[in-house]
Structure 1
Amino acid sequence: MPSVDHWSRSWVRDRPGFQWAPEPPGPPYVAAERVAALHAAISADAEPVILVAHSAGCLTVAVWARQHIGPVRAALLVTPPYLDPDWKPGPGESVDVIIDHVPREPLPFHSILVASRTDPNATFAQFEAYARDWGSELFDAGAVGHLDSKTGFGPWPDGEDLLRSLAAVTG
């Protein structure tokens, strides 16, 4: 769960109408639990939404989109961790992410994938592959680490601009 000074927490705290999808306990990240929480949040209102996801939340959005339909206008996908499609945990290996498959087909809504040149969880080429597979517009955020509070991101004006552009395009 992001710290209280994470940009995503401040967006929810400071903007009426923004809602945090409830998070099941973790780690480990269990995709089925996160997808169910996201689906419940999306289904709670018939009004179309723009999803904002960071890190493993991006994987949740991709899995949700593969399994469900709903009133989603667009998604801002920020620094998803890369999981090799052929990766399998070894015997006794600690697994922080329990997901059997990261969908690699186009999302059924407009999306922007924010990529970092210095993210410890994915290379820029891996972000490009996700963007290509998901049909997402790619935004190069530069050398911003994982774009979280640990790398200095409380407020994130570029993210707010991206979100406004998604709202304008899909409005």
Structure 2
Amino acid sequence: MKTADCDILVIPGLAGSEEEHWQARWASRLPTARIVEQADWHRPEPEAWCGRIREAVDAATRPVILIAHSLGVIASVVVAPSLPAGIVRGAVLVAPPDIERTPNLPESVRAFAPIPREPLPFPALVVASRTDPYCTFERAEDFAYAWGAVIVDAGESGHINVASGHGPWPEGLMRLAGFLKNL
């Protein structure tokens, strides 16, 4: 599959993705990509966030690829079982946060718990860092296995965001291209 053959839904995490974030860059450069907007990026509500993802999938005119980061990963995994069968062809899930074990997270973030442990109904890659302050690599690996996803070790990459030096993130685009090629 090529990017021109699918609708790419970019799903940011808490606070959205600032202009320099790799997700915002990809959404502006990939012609079939768009950000799934949330009504409130700073006070997430599971039902509302999942509803926006569901609406975006329902509005798609081609097969869908989800590209989620941080809390967007958790929202994507929560909503996945309720999405129409066969429309979502795959997902790239980057830096999933451990909302169950990370201390000092806002209650609005913890409201997405428990993290689903069922296999996803589509192929997925989980890209995880060994130095993510929001999730240990071992826990991300456990999520990937539970979801039936392939785990990608991003090394010591922090939370894979602007603060950790991941503006354009060309390695991520290469991973996306390889993933799409195999669908």
TM-score of the superposed pair, with normalisation by structure 1: 0.90
Distance 2:108 2:165 in 1: 24
- 3-state DSSP of counterpart to 1:142: coil
Give how far 1:67 is off: 2.3
Give how far 1:48 is off: 0.7
Pair 1:94–1:147, CA change in 2 (3 A): closer
Give how far 1:44 is off: 0.5
Distance 1:134 1:76 in 2: 12
Give how far 1:15 is off: 1.5
Write out aligned runs for 1:59-74 (5 A).
59-70=74-85, 71-74=87-90
- Candidates 150, 156, 161, aligned match of 2:169: 156
Q: How many residues align?
A: 164
Pair 1:5–1:94, CA change in 2 (3 A): closer
The runs of 5 or more residues in structure 1 that have no matched partner are none
Question: How big is each residue's C-alpha offset from its partner over 1:24-77, in whole Å with a ceiling of 9 and x where there is no partner?
Answer: 213222111111111111110241111100000000110111222241010000
- 3-state DSSP of counterpart to 1:167: helix
* Aligned position for 1:76: 92
Distance 1:4 1:118 in 2: 24
- 3-state DSSP of counterpart to 2:93: strand
The runs of 5 or more residues in structure 2 that have no matched partner are 1-15
Amino acid at match of 1:167: L
- Candidates 67, 71, 89, aligned match of 1:52: 67
* Aligned position for 2:19: 4
Contact 1:28–1:95 (8 Å) recurs in 2? no
Contact 1:66–1:103 (8 Å) recurs in 2? no
Distance 2:44 2:134 in 1: 15
Q: Moved runs in structure 1, 4+ residues, more than 3 A? A: none
Distance 2:23 2:97 in 1: 17
TM-score of the superposed pair, with normalisation by structure 2: 0.84
Amino acid at match of 1:95: E
Distance 1:138 1:167 in 2: 16
Distance 1:155 1:76 in 2: 16
Amino acid at match of 2:42: P
Distance 2:97 2:126 in 1: 12
